[in-house]
Amino acid sequence: MSPSVKVKERIALGTKTERKLEKIDVLDKGYVRLVDVMGDDLRVVNAARVSYAKESKQLSDKDIRLIKFLAREGHTSPFRHAMLSFEIYAPLMIARQWWKYVVGSDHVMDAWNEASRRYITMEPEWYIPDENAWRSKPDHSKQGSGEPVDRAIGREATQRLKRQLEEGLKDYEWALEAGIAPEQARLLLPSAYGMYTPWYWTASLQSVAHMLNQRLAHDAQAEFQAYARAVYELVKPYFEHSLAELLKNKEI
């Protein structure tokens, strides 16, 4: 079994323990998998109550009111005592936007580890929109997108993208077969924004909520919105009350 196949198998299945955890498929080949959770709504409550040397054993109505107060008044430190780890497989255009949430956060509270083509030759995959998925430029904004383009234009865009990727992949495979080091051969890959990359993201509940607040917004890129919704669905069962308050007024 080649290294690339082993890597793909690990990414798709994980260990026996990891297979029990939840995973949501996104786009054509991507996914979000919840790897680990540290804490729940009660963890948030007790992180706040320790200031008064108190502790709740079970979540009560009084505790829920405390969560509402913490979120409403901007007392966010208790939400940073709950942590979540995800494995994400997404196009580079999503990964590089997502990375901003690590750069803009306290690095003690966020971690990011991504697969490196310096060390592995995992089989490249790309996000290829079908002819109905291409969107027009919005009329009154420099970012985002508008209505779907004409199907004939979408069909042409998909064909052009496939043609570029096929040619670039041939060049990359030629370089590897010619004995060029993978860390240089990757220069020949069509590393377009649609190329998939896998990474682990570990973040506090507050950091996760910050990302969701921005990327569930109606004007966020549609593909990122899809990943944000997957994260939301995976997190919600563990932090029902905290997430509801941190995402107040957010239509999901």
Which residues are designated catalytic? 215
Judge contact between 59 and 41, C-beta under 8 A. yes
Q: What is the 3-state secondary structure (H, E, C) of 91-129?
A: EHHHHHHHHHHHHCCCCCCEEEEECCCCCCCCCCCECCC
H-run or E-run covering 30: strand 30-38
What count of other Cβ atoms lies within 10 Å of the Cβ of residue 130?
Answer: 10
The dihedral over CA atoms of 189, 167, 87, 75, expressed in degrees to the nearest 10, equals 70
SS3 helix, strand, coil % of the chain, rounded to 5?
A: 50, 15, 35
Query: Rounded to whole angstroms, what are the CA distances from 72 to 26, 49, 63, 105, 119?
Result: 32, 17, 14, 21, 46
DSSP class of residue 135? B
Classify residue 94 by burial, with Cβ atoms within 10 Å: 0-12, 13-18, 19+: buried
Judge contact between 47 and 78, C-beta under 8 A. yes
Plot region of 114 (φ>0 → left; ψ -120 to 50 → alpha; else → beta): beta
